[in-house]
Structure 1
Amino acid sequence: MSARRVLITGGAGFIGTHLTRALLAQGSEVTVLDNLLPQVHGADRSDEDVVAALGGAAFVRGDVRDAEAWTRAYDGHDVIVHLAAETGTGQSMYEAARYTDVNVVGTARLLDLLTNTSHQVSRLVVASSRSIYGEGRYLDADGGVHYPGARRVEDLNAGRFEPLAADGTPLQATATDEDSRIHPSSVYGITKSTQEQLVLSIGEALGIPAVGLRYQNVFGPGQSLSNPYTGILSIFTTLLRSGAAINVFEDGRESRDFVFVSDVVEATRLAIGSDLPGSRVYNVGTGRAVDVLEVVRTLAATWGVEADYRVTGEYRLGDIRHNWADLTRIRADLGFTPQVDFAAGVAAFAEWARAEEAGTVGDYERSLGEMRSRGLMPGGGA
C-alpha cells in the first residue's frame, strides 16, 4: 500500500494505536482524533503520553460529537478510518442515550463535513462489528438457513440456551457471511449497524469508496485491563491474576470468533489500500468458533494457574449464543488471511499483560451489579 494521509478517529485506543504505528511504519502521515475516555484510558492519561505511544502521529484531543473537534482534525487527509465508538454490549443496554449519541451522532458529524465542505477524502473505512448480526447463521437438519431472533426468557431461565427454529426444532450454528440477516440484539449492535449504514450510504452518494469492516472479538496487547465493560480476555485475566472466581455465563458453550489485533490491523490496512470501487462490507475474524470454557482453560494454562470458575447459568439480556465469521469475501477481494491462532494470540496477550498493572475485581463486580439491579442479568438456570 502506498503512503497516504490518514485520519483515525479513536486512534489512541487499542486497535487505533496498533493501526497508527503500522501506517506510520509504511510511510503514511497519520492524525489521531480521540477524547481519551477515562473508562478506556484511565483518568490520568495525558496528551504527551498519547503522542509518545503513537510514535509520531499528530494528535488532536476532541470528541467526535463536537463539530469543532472534527474541523481541527480533518483537513488535508485523503483517508478517514472511523474507529471511535462506545463499546460494550451489556453497558449499552442501560446507557442507551450515551451509546447512541457517541456512535450515531459522532458519525453524523463526520458525514456533515463530507457533504458540506470541500475536502480531498478519497476513501472511508468504518469499524463495524459482528454484533450487527445478532445471532449468527444457523442451519436446520435439511440444510435450510435460519437467523434466530432473541432467545425466550423462559428458555434461558430453564437453562435451554441454544436457539431454536420458529417451530421449536434444533438448529446447528455455522459461519456467518456478509449476506446474513442484520438483526442486532443490543443497543450497541444497533448503533454499530447504523454507523456502518450511514458511512456506506453517504460514501455512495458522494462517490467516495467506503468499506465497513465487521470486526469479530478483537484481543491482544494494549487491550484495556481496567475497563470491565468489554473484552472477556481482559476481564478473565484480571480475575485469574487476583485468584478470584470467574463467573461463566449460561453453560459456557456460547462461542465467538476471537481475532488477534495484528490480523485486524492487516485487514484494515488492506481496506485502506484497496482500489475497489463503491461501498463494500467485510467480516474480519479467524473463521473459528471458540467457546467461553475454552477461553478460561486456555488463559489458565497460559498463566500456569488453576482456574476457579463457576458455570452459573446467569445470562445477559442482549447477548447472543453463537457467531463466527465466514471469510470467503475478504479473502477473495483483499487477499486477507488471519495469521495468529487463538492459543498463540493468548500467549502474546498474557506475555504483555504480565508487565501491566492489573484491573480490579471490584470494577468488574460493580459492572455486573449495575446489570442485575436493572433486571438485565437474570440469575440462575436449571
Structure 2
Amino acid sequence: MILITGGLGFIGSHTARALVELGESCVLTQRREPEPNALLADEIGKRVFLEQVDVTDGEALIEVCERHQVTGIIHLAGAYFGDPYEDARSNIGMFFTVVNAAKTLGIRRVGIASTIGVYDGGDEGALLESIHLPVSATQGIAMSKKINEILISQLAPATGVELYATRIGAIWGPLGRPAAPFFPTSQLIHAAAAGRELDLSTLPGGRLPHADDGLDLMYVRECGRALALLQLADQLDHRVYNVSSGRITTNREIVDAIATALPEARIELPDGHDPQNTRARSWLDTGRLRQDTGYQPEYDTERAVADYLDWLRAGNER
C-alpha cells in the first residue's frame, strides 16, 4: 500500500494509476475533501482509497498510515500560495511530518518531489544529478525543493528511512493546466481539440512560440509510471533522480504530431528560434532512472499528442 500526498493532483493521479497497473494499492491524501477524477473513478474503493488529511498534521498522517498499513510514501503535496514565509514554513513542516511518519512506523522508502527548477537554468546540454548546485534560487518552489534535498542527505542516514528526491521536468497531459506558464504545449493541443484559434494571452510571453524552440517535456502518464517504478524498485543506488524524457521536444514536433492526429487543425508557428528566448538548450539526463528501475518510454511525441487529443475530445476539460 503506497500513500501519495497530493494524490488527486495532476501528477499524483497518474502516479496512482501507474501503481495500480503495476499491481499495487494506493491511499491518496488531499487537504480538501477528496473527489475522484475521471482517471481513477473506476478504482476508488477497490485499489485506490481517499483520505482527507492536512499533511502538516503529524498525528493524522500517522493514523492514516497505520490504518491502511502503508509500506511506502510518495510526497507530492506542496504549499505555493505566494507568501514566502508561510509557504516555506508549510513545505518544511510537511517534509518533517512525512519523514517522521515513516520513521515512527518503520516505512522503508519515501520519495520526495523535487523539480527541474533546482538547476536554475543550468548550462547547455545534459543536466546530471551530480552537478553541484548553488544554494540560492530565483524562485520559491526551487528554493523549497533545494532545502528538501539537503535535508534528505542528512536525514536518510540518521533516520534509517530510504529517502530520495525526484527532480521532475516539464510535465503535460490529461488533468494538467490548460495554459501552462512556461511552455506552450497544452495551449497548442487545447486549441486544436476545440477547433479554435490560439489565444495569445494564454501563451508564455503573450506571443506565438517559435517552431524550433523547445525543452525537455515528459508526458504525464510517463511521469507517473517513472515515479511508481522508483517507489517499487528492488534497490535504489542514489538519493536524487531526474524524472523527464531526457531530450528536447521542439514546438515543431508538437505541431507536426497534432497535424498527424487531427489533419483539419491548422497551427502555424514562426520558423527558427525566438530571439527573446534566452533559456539554455538543456535537458535532464535520465541514466540513473533507467538504470535503477528499467524505465523505458512508452509514449513518443506523436502517440502522446494523439492520446491527449482523444482525452480532450472525449469531453474532459483538461
Q: Does 1:20 align with 2:16?
A: yes
Structure 2 partner of 1:62: 53
Deviation, structure 1 residue 133: 0.8
Letter in 1 for 2:31: N
Q: Structure 2: give runs of 5+ residues left out of the alignment.
A: none
Q: Retained in 2: the 8 A contact 1:210–1:280?
A: yes
State the Cα deviation string for residues 231-283 of structure 1 (Å, max 9, x = none): 74334444553424334538745532111223223322221222336652111
Structure whose CA Rg is larger: 1
Structure 1 partner of 2:4: 8
Structure 2 partner of 1:111: 99
State the Cα deviation string for residues 18-49 of structure 1 (Å, max 9, x = none): 2223323444232111125xxxxxxxxx6453
Q: Secondary structure at the match of 1:331?
A: helix
Q: Retained in 1: the 8 A contact 2:213–2:274?
A: no
Deviation, structure 1 residue 80: 0.8
Q: Retained in 2: the 8 A contact 1:8–1:31?
A: yes
Please give the residue correspondences for 1:293-308 in structure 2 after superposition, counting only pairs within 5 Å.
294-295=253-254, 298-299=257-258, 302-303=261-262, 304-307=264-267
Q: Secondary structure at the match of 2:282?
A: coil
Q: Report how many residues are paired.
A: 300
- Indicate the RMSD between aligned Cα atoms, in angstroms: 3.3
Structure 1 partner of 2:120: 134
Please give the residue correspondences for 1:264-343 in structure 2 after superposition, counting only pairs within 5 Å.
264-276=223-235, 279-292=238-251, 294-295=253-254, 298-299=257-258, 302-303=261-262, 304-307=264-267, 320-343=279-302
Partner Cα separation in structure 2 for residue 256 and residue 66 of structure 1: 38
Q: CA distance change for structure 1 residues 127 and 54 in 2, over 3 Å: closer, same or farther?
A: farther
Q: Secondary structure at the match of 1:324?
A: strand
Structure 2 partner of 1:189: 142
Q: Does 1:176 align with 2:141?
A: no
TM-score by length of 1: 0.67
Moved more, 349-358 or 247-256: 247-256
Q: Retained in 2: the 8 A contact 1:217–1:258?
A: yes
Partner Cα separation in structure 2 for residue 302 and residue 323 of structure 1: 28
Deviation, structure 1 residue 188: 1.4
Structure 2 partner of 1:356: 315
Deviation, structure 1 residue 121: 0.2
Structure 1 partner of 2:41: 52
Structure 2 partner of 1:83: 76
Letter in 2 for 1:336: Y
Q: Secondary structure at the match of 1:337?
A: coil
Q: Does 1:74 align with 2:65?
A: yes
Q: Retained in 2: the 8 A contact 1:203–1:210?
A: yes
TM-score by length of 2: 0.79
Moved more, 289-298 or 72-81: 289-298
Letter in 2 for 1:182: L
Q: CA distance change for structure 1 residues 263 and 182 in 2, over 3 Å: closer, same or farther?
A: same
Q: Secondary structure at the match of 1:84?
A: coil
Q: Does 1:262 align with 2:251?
A: no
Deviation, structure 1 residue 342: 1.8
Q: Retained in 1: the 8 A contact 2:226–2:295?
A: yes
Q: Secondary structure at the match of 2:284?
A: coil
Structure 1 partner of 2:186: 234
Percent of pairs identical after alignment? 23
Letter in 1 for 2:225: E
Structure 1 partner of 2:157: 204
Q: CA distance change for structure 1 residues 20 and 248 in 2, over 3 Å: closer, same or farther?
A: closer
